[in-house]
Amino acid sequence: MKNRAVLYLRLSKEDLDKLREGDESASIKNQRLLLIEYALTNNFEVVKIYCDDDESGLYDDRPGFEEMLEDAKLGLFDIVIAKTQARFSRNMEHIEKYLHHDFPNLGIRFIGVVDGVDTAVASNKKSRQINGLVNEWYCEDLSDNIRSSFKIKMKKGQFLGSSCPYGYKRDPSNHNHLIVDEYAANIIRRIFSMYLSGCGKAKIGSVLSADGVLIPTLYKQQILGENYKNCRVMETTKNWSYQTIHTILNNQVYVGDMVQNRANKLSYKDKKKKKLPKEQWIIVPNTHEAIISRDTFARAQEIQQIKTRSVNGNQVNGLFSGLIFCADCKHAMGRQYARRGDRGFIGYICKTYKQQGKRFCDSHRIKNDELEEAVLCSIREEAKKILTEKDIDDLKKFKAVEAYQTNYELQMEQIQQEIQKIESYKRKTYDNFMEELISKTDYVSYISDYDKKILKLKRQKESISEKVDMQEELNHQYDEWTEAFKNYINVSKLTREMVLELINRIEVHDDGAIDIYYRFSNPYL
């Protein structure tokens, strides 16, 4: 009976560069031909081929690699053949874990065709370890060189991202240059136009979602056909979020400037990144065609600063500046002044009505003193809710929530204990296998069952953790609401600081009624 062998092929980013330069030696095709010829020459039966395209050998979360490891646990093959040890992994820790521990325990042999690596040869171990160390040094040096090279290219204004910003695509004649994607660019222009017209970020997101506009992630996947993933976006997410709109409104790339080096990896062996302070960003102006004007971008930034900008104490009429909008056309309200006698400020009027007439919108007039009184009363009423009987009931609910949280913690502890128990079973099973008390088939079967149980328990933990996070978020919202309003139960006069702290937006209806959108709310009401 032939030895059952599998082939592992891997193409790295460095290999892709070589292929572009005309070097086919590292291609997947040539790797496959080399390994198949080796297997046939040595009378091995090839039962499966695993392939990872454009994947680093430093990490073990490669799709093909992970599938191979799962099949190994099931005892589906006896030999793994790769072009070199480095194709299998460039991480010394992985070499020790898989080649010198897991594979031997599963009765699996590893062969590197070109570099002569063979785990069936005992004297080969030191050379394998040296190879592993050399490969890791190579990766570290390569990482440093690449980082230096990237920074040089960034300073020249070359785009180096794996996926283009929404609204742009790669120039076919120069992959480091951005060109406008007209469809997405029109969405970008629409977002800025809506925001400058007084529409809030959340509202913009709702409008785009209602109109069926694909979120950037889905647009890249479904329309552009990119293999694009966003860890912050769940598969079920279809709606535009506040954060997505916020990111677009603050992305300087849309005025034609290249902005890069905003984050870097913690280590060449770690995929995690940390954000860099703005002074370390690399910004090169006018590298590509702008989607919106610099004036439009600047106005959007100014509007976002309104909530934090202080107002001179003498400017009593600036209480609601930047916060008051028409409930129908959603445009900002403008100040209205007395026509006769004292030409002082008296209230607000819809800008659309004032500039374009009744054909486009109604006046939505409101006197300033009426608005102040209405807002003041609303704040008092909101603050009083904290002391109502209903709110006391809500506090009792919190006590119940605390009990639930205690129960969750207990469940998590019990699940963790169960996982540890199964892990101990796995270790005992391994010992029994090594002592030949059980067969390889039984060992593989037991380990597979244990791994399934552990996976199920971990998913239970994740589910409980999500519930805890959700409850904590509700508690946080409640605390924010209480903290915001507790000092305003008997407030007698509005201040600009108070308005900015509590209110996100005020909309005025044509009949004088107002809608106040607070920055905080009680999630339990």
Q: What is the DSSP string of 6-44?
A: EEEEEE-HHHHHHHHTT--TTSHHHHHHHHHHHHHHTTE
Q: Of residues 127 and 284, which shows the higher confidence score?
A: 284
Q: Give the pLDDT band of residue 98 (cuts 50, 70, 90).
A: confident
Highest mean pLDDT among 15-19, 188-192, 401-405, 411-415: 188-192
Compute how many other C-beta atoms are within 10 angstroms of the C-beta atom of residue 206: 15
pLDDT over threshold 70, residue 118: yes
In a domain, 241, yes or no: yes
Bridge-partner residues for 366, per DSSP?
A: 348
pLDDT over threshold 80, residue 15: no
Please give the Cα distance from 144 to 151 (Å, whole number).
11
CA nearest 179: which of 253, 247, 261?
253
pLDDT over threshold 80, residue 513: yes
Assign 274 to helix, strand or coil. Answer: strand
Output phi, psi for 11, to 5 deg: -115, 125
Bridge-partner residues for 80, per DSSP?
A: 6, 110
514-518/270-275 β-pairing: unpaired
Least-confidence region, from 131-145, 366-380, 462-476: 131-145
pLDDT over threshold 70, residue 108: yes
Same domain, 398 and 468: yes
Same domain, 138 and 177: no
pLDDT over threshold 50, residue 50: yes
Q: What is the CATH number of the domain that holds 125?
A: 3.40.50.1390
pLDDT over threshold 60, residue 137: no
Please give the Cα distance from 136 to 269 (Å, whole number).
9
The helix or strand, by DSSP H or E, that contains position 192, with its residue range, turns out to be helix 182-196
The helix or strand, by DSSP H or E, that contains position 141, with its residue range, turns out to be helix 125-155
Query: Between helices 201-210 and 182-196, what is the axis angle to 10°?
Result: 140
Q: Look at residue 254 in the predicted model and tell me its pLDDT.
A: 95
Same domain, 46 and 124: yes
Q: Look at residue 268 in the predicted model and tell me its pLDDT.
A: 41
Give the percent of the chain with pLDDT over 70: 74
Assign 483 to helix, strand or coil. Answer: helix
Residue 357 · residue 476 · CB < 8 Å: no
117-118/174-180 β-pairing: unpaired
Assign 206 to helix, strand or coil. Answer: helix
Side chain identity at residue 494, one-letter code = L
Q: Look at residue 121 in the predicted model and tell me its pLDDT.
A: 81
Please give the Cα distance from 353 to 360 (Å, whole number).
7
In a domain, 498, yes or no: no
Q: What is the CATH number of the domain that holds 203?
A: 3.90.1750
Least-confidence region, from 162-171, 197-206, 326-335, 413-422: 197-206
Residue 318 · residue 288 · CB < 8 Å: no
pLDDT over threshold 70, residue 475: no
The encoded tokens of residue 69 equal 């490891």
In a domain, 522, yes or no: no
C-alpha to C-alpha distances, 204 to 177, 294, 347, 503, nearest whole angstrom:
30, 21, 27, 18
CA nearest 149: which of 138, 160, 137?
160
Q: Give the pLDDT band of residue 131 (cuts 50, 70, 90).
A: low
Residue 98 · residue 89 · CB < 8 Å: yes
Q: Give the pLDDT band of residue 436 (cuts 50, 70, 90).
A: confident
- Quick one: three-class SS letters along 295-325? HHHHHHHHHHHCCCCCCCCCCHHHCCCCCEE
* pLDDT per position as a tens digit, 304-331: 776 444 333 334 456 888 888 999 998 8
Side chain identity at residue 136, one-letter code = E
Q: Look at residue 316 in the predicted model and tell me its pLDDT.
A: 42
Q: Give the pLDDT band of residue 231 (cuts 50, 70, 90).
A: very low
Q: Give the pLDDT band of residue 236 (cuts 50, 70, 90).
A: very low
Q: Look at residue 439 in the predicted model and tell me its pLDDT.
A: 86
Same domain, 355 and 276: no
- What is the rounded average pLDDT for all residues in the chain? 78
Q: Of residues 507 and 406, which shows the higher confidence score?
A: 507
Residue given tokens 């496959």 in the structure block: 32
pLDDT over threshold 50, residue 23: no
Same domain, 224 and 109: no
Bridge-partner residues for 46, per DSSP?
A: 5
Same domain, 366 and 511: yes
Same domain, 276 and 181: yes
Same domain, 24 and 134: yes
Please give the Cα distance from 87 to 96 (Å, whole number).
15
Please give the Cα distance from 240 to 221 (Å, whole number).
16
Residue 192 · residue 300 · CB < 8 Å: yes
The encoded tokens of residue 168 equal 């742009």
Compute how many other C-beta atoms are within 10 angstroms of the C-beta atom of residue 296: 18
Least-confidence region, from 193-202, 244-253, 344-353, 377-386: 377-386
pLDDT over threshold 90, residue 227: no
Tell me what the mean pLDDT of segment 70-75 comes to. Answer: 90
In a domain, 280, yes or no: yes
Please give the Cα distance from 52 to 62 (Å, whole number).
7
In a domain, 496, yes or no: no
Of 152, 181, 212, which residue is a domain's last? 152
Q: Of residues 222 and 100, which shows the higher confidence score?
A: 222
pLDDT over threshold 60, residue 26: no
Helix, strand, coil % (nearest 5) of the chain? 55, 15, 30
* pLDDT per position as a tens digit, 375-425: 888 887 777 766 454 554 554 455 555 555 667 778 888 888 888 888 888
Same domain, 180 and 283: yes
Least-confidence region, from 57-61, 162-166, 300-304, 498-502: 57-61
Same domain, 375 and 392: no
* pLDDT per position as a tens digit, 441-456: 888 888 888 888 888 8
pLDDT over threshold 90, residue 511: no
Q: Look at residue 290 in the predicted model and tell me its pLDDT.
A: 94
Same domain, 176 and 32: no
In a domain, 456, yes or no: yes
Least-confidence region, from 35-44, 221-230, 234-243, 450-459: 234-243
Of 302, 328, 343, which residue is a domain's last? 302
Give the percent of the chain with pLDDT over 90: 16
Please give the Cα distance from 320 to 503 (Å, whole number).
9
Highest mean pLDDT among 136-145, 153-162, 359-368: 359-368
- Quick one: three-class SS letters along 364-400? CCEEHHHHHHHHHHHHHHHHHHHHCHHHHHHHHHHHH
Q: Give the pLDDT band of residue 235 (cuts 50, 70, 90).
A: very low
Please give the Cα distance from 479 to 522 (Å, whole number).
8
Residue given tokens 């008390």 in the structure block: 437
Of 260, 277, 302, which residue is a domain's last? 302
Q: What is the DSSP string of 98-127?
A: IIIIIHHHTT-EEEETTTTEETT-GGGHHH
**Domains in the chain: how many in total?**
4
pTM above 0.75, yes or no: no
In a domain, 162, yes or no: no
Domain extent at residue 89: 3-152
Same domain, 123 and 46: yes
In a domain, 158, yes or no: no
